[in-house]
C-alpha cells in the first residue's frame, strides 16, 4: 500500500514538473494522466495535500470560483528566483535566477531594501491573457 502511494506521488509530481508553467485542477490532472493507472480520486487528493505541504506543489484558487489549481513549485529550487503570477489565468512563471538577482540588486542599491525573494510574487497579466484582452 505504502509503495503504491509513493509511486502515485511520484507520477503526479513528474506530470506537474513536465508542465511546470501550467496549473490544473485535480479533475484535470486525473483526466490528463488517464491510462497511467492512477489510484482513486481520494488518494490523489491526499497525495496533493502532502505535496503542497512539502512545498513541491503550489495551490491557488481560480478567480472567483472555488476551484483549487495545482502547479509544480520546485521546492528549494524556487527559493532562488522571483515569480510572476498572472491574475487572469493564475499561471505562475519562474524567472531565471540571474534575472531575479539583477532586479533584487537594483532595488537594494536604489532603496536600501532587501526584498524577500521567497515570499515575493509579482502580479500582472501574462502574454497569453494580454493577447486575449486585445481581441475585440
Q: 28 or 88: whose CB is closer to Zn ion?
A: 88
Beta strands in the chain (DSSP E): 57-61, 68-72, 83-86, 92-94, 121-124
Phi, psi dihedrals of residue 17, rounded to the nearest 5° = -65, -40
Q: Minimum Å distance from CB 92 to Zn ion? A: 7
Q: Minimum Å distance from CB 69 to Zn ion? A: 12
Contact set with Zn ion (CB under 5 A)? 74, 78, 86, 88-89, 94, 126, 129
Q: Minimum Å distance from CB 48 to Zn ion? A: 18
Q: 43 or 95: whose CB is closer to Zn ion?
A: 95
Cα–Cα distance measured from residue 123 to residue 15, given in angstroms and rounded to the nearest whole number: 25
Residue 124: strand, helix, or coil: strand
Q: 89 or 115: whose CB is closer to Zn ion?
A: 89
Amino acid at each position: 500500500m505504502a509503495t503504491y502511494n509513493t509511486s502515485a506521488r511520484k507520477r503526479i509530481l513528474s506530470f506537474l514538473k513536465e508542465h511546470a508553467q501550467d496549473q490544473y485542477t485535480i479533475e484535470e490532472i486525473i483526466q490528463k494522466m488517464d491510462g497511467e493507472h492512477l489510484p482513486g480520486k481520494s488518494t490523489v487528493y491526499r497525495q496533493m495535500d502532502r505535496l503542497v505541504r512539502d512545498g513541491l506543489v503550489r495551490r491557488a484558487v481560480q478567480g472567483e470560483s472555488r476551484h483549487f489549481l495545482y502547479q509544480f513549485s520546485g521546492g528549494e529550487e524556487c527559493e532562488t528566483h522571483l515569480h510572476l503570477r498572472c491574475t487572469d489565468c493564475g499561471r505562475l512563471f519562474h524567472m531565471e535566477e540571474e534575472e531575479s538577482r539583477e532586479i533584487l540588486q537594483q532595488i537594494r542599491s536604489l532603496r536600501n531594501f532587501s526584498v524577500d525573494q521567497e515570499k515575493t510574487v509579482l502580479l500582472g497579466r501574462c502574454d497569453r491573457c494580454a493577447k486575449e484582452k486585445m481581441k475585440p
